[in-house]
Amino acid sequence: MTHSEELRRGVAALGLALDEAQLDKLAGYLALLGKWNHTYNLTAVRDEARMVSHHLLDSLTLVPYLEGHHRLLDVGSGGGMPGIPAAIARPDLSVVLLDANSKKTSFLRQAAIELGLTNVEVVTSRVEAYQPEQKFDLITSRAFSELADFVRLTPHLLADGGQWLAMKGVWPYEEIAQLPAGVEVVEVLPLAVPGLEAERHLVRIAQR
C-alpha cells in the first residue's frame, strides 16, 4: 500500500470528509516532512510510511474537536503537528504555529507557502514572550511539555471561555494531579489512530 493509499484509508476510518485537494496537501506535507527531516531533525520518525500514522493521522484525530472554533494556537509546533494537518482539514480555521526553534519555523513557513495554507501563520518565539493582538479560543500541544507547564505558560494566550487541548499518549494521571489551581480537566478522551498500536488521549482543560 502506498503512503497516499494509507492516508486515504486512515482519513476515511476517522470519518473525516476531506476532498482531493486536501488529501493532496496532506500527501505534499508528508513529502516535505520527509525531505526536510534529514537536515532539520524535525521528528525522530525517519520512515515516511510510519509518519502517516504517527504524525498525519494522529494529528487529524484532533479535527472533530475543533468544530465551532475560529483560532487555534499550536504551541511547540516543531515539524507542524498537529497544526498543519488541522489547518489543511479546516481551511476556515485560523492557525498559528509557534516554536522557539528558528530552523523548525523556517520549515513551517516554507511548508505553508508550498502547500498554499493561507490560514496559517508561523511565529518564532518562546511561548511566554508571545503577545498576539488577538487571543485564541483553542490552544493545543502534542509534544511541548507536561500539562502543568503547558497551562502555566499559556494563560495569557487563551481567550475567555477558551480551552486547552493537550494531545497525550497513555492516560496522564500523574500530570493531571500536578495541574495548578484555577484550571480543571473537562474530559479525557481516548483517541483511536488508524495504523497506530499505541494509546492516545486528548485532554481538554478549561479555566475555572
- pLDDT one-digit tens code per residue, 162-197: 999 999 999 999 999 999 999 999 999 999 999 998
What pLDDT, on the 0 to 100 scale, is given for residue 37? 74
Cell of 190: 481516548
Answer for the pair 100, 108: CB distance below 8 angstroms, yes or no. Answer: no
Please return the burial class of 48, using the count of CB atoms within 10 Å of its CB with bins 0-12, 13-18 and 19+.
Answer: middle
63 is known to lie in a ligand binding site: no
CATH number of the domain at 173, please. Answer: 3.40.50.150
pLDDT band, very low/low/confident/very high, at 53 (cuts 50, 70, 90)? confident
Higher pLDDT, 46 or 5: 5
Could you give the number of structural domains in the chain?
A: 1
Cell of 73: 494556537
What pLDDT, on the 0 to 100 scale, is given for residue 72? 98
What pLDDT, on the 0 to 100 scale, is given for residue 80? 94
Higher pLDDT, 42 or 28: 28
6 is known to lie in a ligand binding site: no
Q: Give tens-digit pLDDT for 104-126.
A: 999 999 999 999 999 999 999 99
Whether 75 has a pLDDT exceeding 60, the answer reads yes
In the predicted model, what is the mean pLDDT of residues 37-58?
68
> Which residues form the domain of 41?
3-207
What pLDDT, on the 0 to 100 scale, is given for residue 150? 96
Whether 88 has a pLDDT exceeding 90, the answer reads yes
127 is known to lie in a ligand binding site: yes
* Strands 136-141 vs 71-75: parallel, antiparallel or unpaired: parallel
Kindly state the helix (H) or strand (E) to which residue 204 belongs, with its residue range: strand 200-207
71 is known to lie in a ligand binding site: no
50 is known to lie in a ligand binding site: no
